[in-house]
Amino acid sequence: MNLAQQRAAELSHQKQALRRELADWRGRTQRGQKLEKHHTQVLAITAKLDSFLDQVAEPDPAAAEPFKDFERISRSLIGAHRVWAYFRSKLALRDVDWLAADLKCADELAWECYRPARERAAAAGAIPPEGLKEPPLVFFSNDASPFAQARHSVFEPERINEQGDVKRLGEALLLLPIPVIGVPWFQLNHLPLAVVVAHEVGHAVEHDFGLVQPLADAFAALPVDAGRRAAWASWRHELFADAYGVLSVGPAFVLALMHFLAGDPASIQQERVEGPPWGRYPNRFLRLLVNFELLARLGVADPALRQSWIDAYQFHLMQPFEADIPAVAAALLDMPWPPFGNLSLKEVISFSATDAARAQTLAGVILRGSTLPGGEPFRRLYAAATLAYYQDPAAYVQRNAHSALVNRILASIPPGVRSAEKTPAATREAQIKAIYGQTGGELLDLFAE
């Protein structure tokens, strides 16, 4: 066997090895298996990758210039392995028993925040079936704060040093059919901070449902001072995600955000954002004022929450922007969104005054160490965990509230596949294969360059 034949055999092995692994993961996520909740996610990813592999040419040692062909084939196969490795590393966390329960709970929260937007977009028909993604996948990351993969402008996977490779992989991940949300490792075993996942789901919603341009248009038309309008436009992505967090879990999101942003009073008082460029965020004081306004407009304001922030920090150096806050909040909550059939965001997902009151009641149950009732929505349970913890951290820990909450959430999750469609399993599998089984060419175009 000559060198060309040996190299061809090696490349064929790489392709077949990946195919075998993809098939194994599909089996491991079948109904009744430990990872059954992730079946449609794995099926969608692997269908796209199998389609990609179908279109990667077979290595031919007898070709006129075999090694040039081998280089192109190798780039494509390495790309496929890297894309799968990105997801494998996150799915594999579910095989670690002491991580699995928290991740299952976080996945369910992310899905309950993402699902209303997906259902509205599907009903409106503004996005083709192949553009609708499966439930989000949550994983523990090394970042200091949560993130949604869709908003990571630079994703740097392990052992990739070439900027072109980084760009190609980042683009490939955005083409794949599930949103991915990273949660810092230090939030493990701490449900009260997990409500910020709702903010990251907001980023995924903006990207996945075609809201990027409508959001830009809305902020370009804000009825505020032209100079300040440019700043608000620069901050629109984070403020949209904040609004989505408020709509998902109500005051609990703002409470968690407030503690996340808290810092030295002098630092916050003197914090000024000047532009252009204006960056991604307003100063911390102004950002919280926007969130307090969002709560007020939704009828779930907590005056004590706002007052605690004002008492701690008293003032900031961007007061002229405060006059714009009502217009900003109105744009976020009230504008019609074409991808959702011209519904406003608060008509897509909401956390009502009833939800807020019930979450507060459940927080008291948690702090008393009483048994939580069944049948409560996941978003309420997470909100209750946050409210309980910040009301009395010591009692929360002493009552072992985390374990009780995790057990209640796990007991509330129905068995079976977590699917974006209410169709029989066999039908949904056929739909996914039909949608993604013909779309590998867009990945091939990226990695064959």
pLDDT computed for residue 162 by the predictor = 47
In a domain, 108, yes or no: yes
When the pLDDT of each residue in the chain is averaged and rounded to a whole number, the result is 88
In a domain, 127, yes or no: yes
pLDDT computed for residue 439 by the predictor = 62
Q: Residue 152: which pLDDT band, with cuts at 50, 70 and 90?
A: very low
Q: Residue 285: which pLDDT band, with cuts at 50, 70 and 90?
A: very high
Average pLDDT rounded to a whole number, residues 22-34: 93
Q: Report pLDDT digits (tens) over 345-363.
A: 999 999 999 999 999 999 9
* Better-scored residue on pLDDT, 12 or 55: 12
Give the angle 247-253-256 at the CA atoms, nearest 5°: 170
Total domain count, the chain: 1
Residues in the chain: 449
In a domain, 314, yes or no: no
pTM equals 0.90
In a domain, 183, yes or no: yes
Range of the domain at 136: 3-205+418-447
Sequence-ordered strand ranges (E) for 51-117? none
Q: Report pLDDT digits (tens) over 55-74.
A: 899 999 999 999 999 999 99
* Better-scored residue on pLDDT, 424 or 342: 342
pLDDT computed for residue 428 by the predictor = 75
The phi, psi pair for 148, rounded to 5°, reads: -105, 130
Bridge pairing between strands 147-148 and 180-184: antiparallel
In a domain, 43, yes or no: yes
Q: What percent of the chain has pLDDT over 70?
A: 89
Are 201 and 110 contacting, i.e. CB atoms less than 8 angstroms apart? Answer: yes
Q: List C-alpha distances in Å: 181 to 115, 122, 126, 230, 233.
A: 15, 22, 24, 29, 24
Average pLDDT rounded to a whole number, residues 409-416: 86
Give the angle 134-42-443 at the CA atoms, nearest 5°: 85
pLDDT computed for residue 447 by the predictor = 57
Least trusted range by pLDDT, from 77-91, 145-159, 189-203, 278-292: 145-159
In a domain, 111, yes or no: yes
Letter for the amino acid at 411? A
What would the DSSP string read from start to end of 336-400?
-BGGGTTB-HHHHS---HHHHHHHHHHHHHHHHTPPPPSS--HHHHHHHHHHHHHH-HHHHHHTT
In a domain, 258, yes or no: no
Average pLDDT rounded to a whole number, residues 172-182: 72
